[in-house]
Amino acid sequence: MKETLETIRGRTRIEPVAGIVLGSGLGGLAEAVQEPVSIPYTEIPGFARSTVAGHAGRLVLGALEGVHCVVMQGRFHHYEGHNARDIVYPIRVMAALGVRRLLLTNAAGGVGLSLKPGDLMVIDDHINLAGVNPLIGPNDEETGPRFPDLTNAYDADFRALIDEAARELCIPLHHGVYAMMSGPSFETPAEIRMLRALGADAVGMSTVPEVIAANHCGLATAAISCITNMAAGILPHPLTHREVMETGELAREKFTLLLRGVVRAIGKELSS
Ligand code: HPA
């Protein structure tokens, strides 16, 4: 960690207060960062190596709406073969850099029938069906407790702040429960019916490990899903990664607007 922080601080003196993780097809926000210092993950000691060709990923530090932020453009997934500790290492780095609030984004399949592709959903809670937990193994008591509470894993005040930002921008928002599956195959129609019966509204292959680690180290955390497709078996056509990326691209403008509004609200809150 010492080496990681030295490398990042050797590139920029920015002390970020907010962290943002951009999911599949949602990387565009990083382009809005002012005076960005962009560090490829491959140049950061301790960061895993991405296995997805062309998606190396980078850490972008700079100002958004006048708020010092650190943005992850690309994340590490369980389905790539990364172990859970590697997946959440960047979250611990953000906390060590001084980040207080963490906002995660992802692309997700709509399980709830009131959702449609292009909708945005604030995650109120999750169901972890991926069989991964980044806290398995020895616990570092200085980072957080052995048995962290997840009752308010998606911070209620932070969610209210997102709702308020969306209202001001007239961006409709859904709220719901996100189920994490391991992937990389999409779910079967029977699995989607099971998830709906369990109370899930959206399904994806990320975010949950990061949320657990962020709560463990005391970050106020929130997450927003971009519904990129209806989950398996709802519509007659098969699911493709292309549909996920294309819908992400269509929602990009709305999503970027909302994220900027949220960061602006964080800035106001910090200065009041
Ligand atoms: N299932 C799982 N992960 C996803 C989906 C889906 O339908 N869409 C985007 N990420």
Please give the distance, rounded to the nearest whole angstrom, from the Cα atom of residue 157 to the centre of ligand 1. Answer: 27
- Find the mean pLDDT for residues 110-138: 96
Atom of ligand 1 nearest to the CA of 232: 7
pLDDT above 90 (res 95): yes
pLDDT above 70 (res 56): no
pLDDT at 174: 98
- The residues that are catalytic are 24, 55, 77, 79-80, 107, 205-206, 229, 241
pLDDT above 80 (res 24): no
pLDDT at 53: 54
* pTM, two decimal places: 0.95
**Does the C-beta of 108 come closer than 6 Å to ligand 1?**
yes
- Find the mean pLDDT for residues 86-113: 96
Q: What whole-number percentage of the chain has pLDDT above 90?
A: 83
Please give the distance, rounded to the nearest whole angstrom, from the Cα atom of residue 231 to the centre of ligand 1. Answer: 7
pLDDT at 23: 85
Which residue's CA is the closest to the ligand 1 atom numbered 2?
204
Which residue's CA is the closest to the ligand 1 atom numbered 5?
109
246 falls in which pLDDT band (50, 70, 90)?
Answer: confident
pLDDT at 211: 98
55 falls in which pLDDT band (50, 70, 90)?
Answer: low
**What average pLDDT does the chain have?**
93
Supply the CATH classification number for the domain 14-137+148-271. Answer: 3.40.50.1580
**Does the C-beta of 205 come closer than 6 Å to ligand 1?**
yes
- Find the mean pLDDT for residues 99-122: 96
Q: Model confidence over 69-84: pLDDT tens digits? A: 999 998 999 999 999 9
- The listed range with the strongest mean pLDDT (56-70, 172-186, 232-246) is 172-186
pLDDT at 52: 61
pLDDT above 70 (res 54): no
**Does the C-beta of 244 come closer than 6 Å to ligand 1?**
yes
pLDDT at 249: 79
pLDDT at 261: 95
pLDDT at 212: 98
32 falls in which pLDDT band (50, 70, 90)?
Answer: confident
**Does the C-beta of 106 come closer than 6 Å to ligand 1?**
no
At 172, give phi and psi (nearest 5°): -70, 135
- Find the mean pLDDT for residues 235-252: 85
Please give the distance, rounded to the nearest whole angstrom, from the Cα atom of residue 111 to the centre of ligand 1. Answer: 10
**Does the C-beta of 158 come closer than 6 Å to ligand 1?**
no
Q: Model confidence over 191-226: pLDDT tens digits? A: 999 999 999 999 999 999 999 999 999 999 999 999
- Find the mean pLDDT for residues 146-165: 97
